[in-house]
């Protein structure tokens, strides 16, 4: 059975945001059962884990003899077994990959610029000076994304793909700001993505693991 690594517990602000959610969501879309390898704080720096994930991060996926890190690679691997994530049609499949990479490469870095300031450096003088510029940049990217989405339900048109899964998880990082929700189209898009039963199950599973750890 597939195993996904995740943290046993994280502080409240990170609950529902940890990137194993992407893997869990993809597995739920694919209808594939999985187990979790839950890491205590510090486990990610131990040599056995670093041998599998050089940066000491979650998630990793273990599938038979295959070990993968990077949530994008993991979602694509799962997508090989799920047409809802990676369509069979060659063009549609390439476009799904394109949107997944756009989420990780053209949107997430700028989203993270804002998130890092808000979560870790809020009270630093340099962060107060940097924040407006970081917001302005991410808003430019999100306006372009919103224009490209237009009136379509999903990024590639009428069907949800792995690209939407990844984009929604990236946009959710800004949940505690109004940067995404102030754009009606993007707000409705994230709602549409996260209303999927597979997302709800994945989120419940991640939060459920944190609750179990907190009550143990
Ligand atoms: N690019 C990686 C990023 C993974 C990542 O940032 N994981 C975070 C949790 S959401 C983590 O493990 N942080 C601990 C650390 O970086 O030391 C991916 O998408 O898998």
Query: Is-cis flag, bond preceding 59, omega within 30?
Result: yes
For 84-107, b/e burial (b = at least 16 CB within 10 A) is: bbbbeeeeebebbbebbebbbeeb
Asked whether residue 77 falls in the same domain as residue 167, the answer is no
Strands 60-63 and 66-69: antiparallel
pLDDT confidence of 17, banded at 50, 70, 90?
very high
Query: Which residues does a 6 A CB cutoff place in the pocket of ligand 1?
Result: 18-19, 56-58, 70-71
Range of 120's domain?
Answer: 90-196
Asked whether residue 23 falls in the same domain as residue 118, the answer is no
Start-to-end CA distance of the chain, whole Å, equals 26
Work out how many domains the chain is built from and give that number. Answer: 2
Asked whether residue 58 falls in the same domain as residue 136, the answer is no
Query: Percentage of residues in the chain with pLDDT exceeding 90?
Result: 100
pLDDT confidence of 116, banded at 50, 70, 90?
very high
For atom 2 of ligand 1, which residue has the closest CA?
A: 70
Tell me, what DSSP letter sits at residue 107?
Answer: I
Q: Provide mean pLDDT across the span 3-20.
A: 96
Asked whether residue 66 falls in the same domain as residue 113, the answer is no
For atom 12 of ligand 1, which residue has the closest CA?
A: 57
The atom number, within ligand 1, closest to the CA of 104 reads 19
Q: How many CA atoms lie within 13 A of 164 on its CB side?
A: 29
Compute the distance from residue 162 Cα to the ligand 1 centre, in Å. 19
Please list the alpha-helical segments (H only) found in 9-89.
20-30, 47-50, 71-79
Asked whether residue 30 falls in the same domain as residue 117, the answer is no
What pLDDT does residue 132 have? 97
pTM score, two decimals? 0.97
Asked whether residue 112 falls in the same domain as residue 161, the answer is yes
Alpha-carbon distance of 105 to 97, in angstroms, equals 12
Asked whether residue 96 falls in the same domain as residue 173, the answer is yes
User: Taking phi first (over 0 means left), then psi (-120 to 50 degrees means alpha), and beta for anything else, what does residue 68 get?
Assistant: beta
For atom 5 of ligand 1, which residue has the closest CA?
A: 57
For atom 15 of ligand 1, which residue has the closest CA?
A: 57
Compute the distance from residue 178 Cα to the ligand 1 centre, in Å. 24
What pLDDT does residue 216 have? 84
Compute the distance from residue 58 Cα to the ligand 1 centre, in Å. 5
Asked whether residue 118 falls in the same domain as residue 149, the answer is yes
């Amino acid at each position: 059975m597939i195993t996904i690594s995740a943290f046993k517990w994280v502080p409240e602000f990170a609950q529902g945001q940890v990137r194993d959610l992407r893997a869990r969501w993809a597995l739920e879309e694919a209808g594939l059962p999985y187990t979790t390898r839950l890491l205590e704080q510090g486990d990610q720096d131990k040599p056995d884990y670093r041998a599998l994930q050089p940066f000491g991060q979650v998630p990793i996926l273990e599938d038979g003899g295959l070990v993968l890190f990077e949530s994008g690679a993991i979602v694509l691997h799962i997508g090989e077994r799920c047409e809802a994530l990676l369509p069979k049609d060659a063009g549609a499949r390439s476009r799904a990959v394109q949107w997944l990479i756009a989420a990780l490469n053209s949107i997430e870095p700028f989203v993270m610029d804002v998130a890092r300031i808000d979560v870790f450096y809020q009270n630093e003088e340099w962060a107060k000076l940097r924040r407006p510029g970081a917001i302005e940049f991410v808003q430019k990217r999100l306006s372009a994304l919103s224009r490209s989405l237009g009136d379509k339900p999903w990024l590639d048109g009428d069907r949800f793909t792995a690209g939407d899964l990844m984009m929604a998880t990236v946009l959710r990082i800004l949940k505690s700001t109004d940067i995404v929700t102030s754009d009606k189209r993007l707000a409705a898009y994230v709602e549409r993505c996260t209303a999927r039963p597979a997302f709800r199950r994945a989120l419940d599973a991640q939060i459920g693991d944190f609750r179990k750890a907190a009550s143990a």
